[in-house]
A = this chain, B = another copy of it.
């Protein structure tokens, strides 16, 4: 039987700690690493991050846009990086933020989550602007194959506040509505373990009270970008996420990737140790 994604993540975080290494081959980093601004450069970048992460941390998150900008050749590079990461036993979260309706959304889900698909990952980030209900087909496909979905719920960029803190008919914020509806979906799906397989994206520096989320403690993984260079430290994990901190996947990109191809493995090891230190503290 396929292990549900939520349970797999729980085991990996228990063993390896919360660090998720972002694979973000953006222009400045390709330059800094001495790699070409092309598909071959992104491929090399991605493979090096996978190699340095394997055996040190448990999760990687390739940022799809940085491959997409090189067209089909960039996507072929991404296929190699995804395959290498999965072969290394890492949990692979494709950060693509796809969102659509009906058969169109189903096609995105099958691109990233169907076993044997070219872009097969362990989980996909999705965008709920068209309604959480429009993602049900994606949740079904994920569940059938032990895959995960991370629904954007509350992001930390200031431009997002007017929309995400708007008030729905329920009197809750848009972010709270998303967390509430997705949590119900997890429950309906008859979780067998402690965590559901539909998680959330909630920024590391989001204030849960301001975002209308104070009442929630979802039993599902929380992908939290914004650790490292974007402002949150390992010590913030417990401060900000409280009782939910064991469910947090702490995503860091720049803070680790700027160590360069030769310093990368040491940077990851040091960071994993910091998170371990804090969780003992």
Chain A residues within CB distance 8 Å of chain B: 24, 26-27, 63, 65-66, 68-76, 78-79, 97-105, 107-108, 110-111, 117-119, 127-134, 152, 155, 157-170, 174, 177-178
Contact = CB atoms under 8 A, between A and B. Distances in A.
Given A118-B70, A131-B157, A134-B157, A100 B163 contact: no
Nearest to A114: B69
B127 A99 contact: yes
Given A99-B97, A107-B26, A160-B134, A72 B72 contact: yes
B71 A104 contact: no
Contacts of A167: 166-167
Nearest to A155: B130
A237 to B, nearest CB: 22
Contacts of A157: 101-102, 130-131, 134
B159 A133 contact: yes
A129 B128 CA distance: 8
A100 B97 contact: yes
Contacts of A119: 68, 71
Contacts of A79: 71-72
Contacts of A158: 131, 133
A225 to B, nearest CB: 10
A182 to B, nearest CB: 13
Contacts of A159: 101, 130-134
B97 A98 contact: yes
B169 A69 contact: no
Given A130-B152, A160-B130, A68 B100 contact: no
Contacts of A103: 26-27
Contacts of A168: 162-163, 165-166
